[in-house]
Chains A and B, each alone.
Chain A
Amino acid sequence: MNTRRDIEFSEEQQQLLEIAENFCRDKSPVAAVRTQIEVEDGFDTGIWKEMADLGWLGIAIPEEFGGSGLGMGEVVTIAEPLGRNLLATPFEATTLAAQLILDAGTDAQKSDWLPRIAEGSITALALSEEHGDWDLNHVTCEAVKNGDTLTLSGTKTLVTDAKRAEIILASVKLGGKTALVLIDRSALADSALTRETVIDETRRSFRISLDGVSVPAANVLNAAKTQSALARHHKLSCLLLSAEACGGTAACLNETLEYLTTRRQFDRFIGSYQSLKHTAVDILTGMEAARSFLYHAATVIEEEDGETAVRMAKAQSSEIFSWAGDRAIQFHGGFGFTYECDAQLYRRRAMWNTNQHGDAVYHRKRLAELLLD
């Protein structure tokens, strides 16, 4: 127990966190979030360009492929402030796609695609399907090989920012096994994309029909490395989702506190009532736990303990973000029930966040296997 690494936080991480916090606060006040909800693409191209210029998309990409060669622990320091300010960009999907390519891509794929991603080429992940199962191997889309060409079929769902993506990384069954295939966005007709209506209105999500789509056979990632890459992808996704949830919880709690300290009912500030005060404290302590799990997971993510650490982070952060959002609505009373109140933004984001890569119950089940068997 004493030799376990708990939390380490480097000078670099500290600087990144500070820069990202300032950046997100400036670029994404709630008014800007609401503006983007009404905009077709759902994010500001100018901000995306700035993020790319800051080098954020290449943080965990090795220097030889145009990145800065840091790790996912550094990416966390960007993801948390993004979540805090509800700044929805293709950052997470693009970062995670790069890691999949890094883990399972061929040499040619790595040198073709990673430098483009590091410079800001938007990448979409098409891993979900209509069944809604979190199991990344539950794949029904198919690829059939004909000489140098793969012909695809089936439908992928919940593909964020697909419309603006330059690259789409999709999971299909090839010869009965899960395979990952890179699809150049230009290989898809616009009619293959259908915008989905999702709970988190800051997201742009698409259903993609792969029927009749052809890609070069060379676009398949290394079959021998695909399973381990998918396992790592699940962990990294949970890590970034936990970061987003921790940031979101902090902002949501502050939003609630603002109301509790200014709204008066029955001649007193409502925050002086213990039923509200004590609940706010429960959210605080739950959030502190989530953030401790998060930075522990960020520390050990690539080690043996990484899976346990990140599942704890995801379980705790999903649960507390949801609860913070739920109470934010309730504590705003009648105003909380309206679209105008910002509480709904956090609650709806929390639902999206929780529904990605397993909720708290799902992760505790896995944790039981890791810790009790």
Chain B
Amino acid sequence: MSETLPDIEAFTEEVRDWVTKNKPGKQDFLLPQSFMEVGTDQQFEFLRDWQNKVYEAGYLGMSWPKEYGGRSMPQEYQDIASRELARQKTPFMVNTIGLNWAGPLILHMGSEEQKKAFIKKILSCEEIWCQGFSEPDHGSDLGNAQLKAERDGKDFICNGSKIWTSLGTYAKHMILLARTDPNTNSKYEGLTFFLNPMDIEGVDPVPIKKMTGEYGFCQTYFDNARISEDCIIGKEGEGWQVAMTTLMFERGATGGQAGGHSMMSTTIEEVIDLAKRTDRDGACSTEDPLIRDELVKLIMTSRAMGLNAARARIPALVSERPASIPMSGKLLGSEYAKKLGEVATSLQGANASYYVGDDNAIDGGRWPRGYLNAFSATIGGGTSQIQKNIIGERVLGLPKPPRTN
């Protein structure tokens, strides 16, 4: 760290300039809005090349150590670059699981070999990572993971399946939560966390067709797949703790992410712009009183989330229930995004029925597709209903229902 750091303003200027010059122009295909929605090779290759370009320019993994492929710079610089990439609406960073989950985890608790082997290729997008937490029978109940990993000498033999593995067919590695000891007192014990190779015998990612008609997730089957104990991160039997650490990285609570944005969120400004382009009763939609009310409600919801975040930074104004705002962010954000898609679609009158692929679909059909895809966030990572249970119990202190068997 003997080098002097660039001046903040000059750096901001430099990034802005680079992004303006290098951001991709319009494609002749509709891009996905997040890594969970990548459905074609064309989309994947485009996004992979873009992430690689950003990395090669030096705007990704800036705060990660130099010896593993980062630049060892203060987080502030990465934040500036990330903000600029988002502001200019560039495509998102496709290796999301690598950048936000696996990478920070490996840097935090991985071995020297693991750091050397994985970190740089996560940033350059040479090796894609996917996530193997959820199972078909245990959606929101992560601690109940049942995929079996039985010890056989220095290896483990894995059987079972994982679901919602985004980028499963492109991934080189999976962060995998598996049950290595089925005879424990608590379901949270006996789990082990692996950095699992995807290109071995017995691991088979099968794409799932989503309700949008597109692909984007896999169910990954393990059929006597043999993985080495060297793939363990953390300790055998302590996978739950490692998974929780990973989720903290996901929620951005502890920092450490490589940077770049991981999705292209639809904004209320875009929906207002759309409203101004659509008609109702021979006039612009924004003259219809009920549409106006609907838009104002959405603007308020959007603004409330930003203001909640601002208030959460002032301890005196959140003293009664400090956990309330942080714990409700996922619920509010995902429900808002879905509502935004729904209202945006409804603005289009009869044309709201066109879908991706039809020439008459407004904006290539991104609105109805966005609405349908928005369910991934109201369901994934704990459904909105589970979120309300959690907030009700942990923030409001309401009782859990009695156990039934």
Interface residues, chain A, CB within 8 Å of chain B? 6-7, 9, 14, 17-18, 250, 257, 260-261, 267-269, 271-274, 277-278, 280-282, 284-285, 288-289, 291-293, 295-296, 312, 315-316, 361, 364-365, 367-368, 371-373
Contacts and interface: CB of A to CB of B under 8 A. Distances in A.
A291 B311 contact: yes
A285 B328 contact: yes
A253 B34 CA distance: 38
B303 A272 contact: no
B378 to A, nearest CB: 14
Contacts of B292: 365, 368, 372
B388 A281 contact: yes
A292 B398 contact: no
Contact of A280 (B301, B303, B398): B398
A203 B320 CA distance: 28
B402 A288 contact: no
Contact of A269 (B272, B314, B399): B399
B398 A372 contact: no
Given A277-B388, A284-B328, A372-B286, A289 B308 contact: yes
Contacts of B293: 361, 364-365, 368
B350 interface: no
15 contacts: A7-B307, A18-B316, A268-B402, A271-B399, A278-B389, A284-B395, A289-B300, A289-B307, A296-B310, A312-B300, A364-B297, A365-B292, A368-B289, A368-B293, A372-B292
B263 interface: no
Given A274-B385, A291-B317, A292-B304, A261 B401 contact: no
Given A281-B391, A292-B304, 6 more contacts: A6-B307, A261-B399, A284-B321, A289-B307, A291-B311, A367-B300
Given A272-B401, A273-B401, A288 B328 contact: yes
B122 interface: no
Interface in B353-405: 385, 388-389, 391-393, 395-402
A271 B398 contact: yes
B24 interface: no
Contacts of A361: 293
A163 to B, nearest CB: 36
A250 B320 contact: yes
B36 interface: no
Interface in B277-297: 286, 289, 292-293, 295-297
Contact of B389 (A18, A269, A277, A282): A277
Contacts of B297: 364
B296 A371 contact: yes
A261 B398 contact: yes
Given A291-B311, A365-B293, A278 B392 contact: yes
Interface string B197-220: 000000000000000000000000
B324 interface: yes
Contacts of B328: 281, 284-285, 288
A274 B389 CA distance: 7
B86 interface: no
Contacts of B296: 364, 367-368, 371-372
Given A281-B396, A291-B317, A295-B317, A272 B402 contact: yes
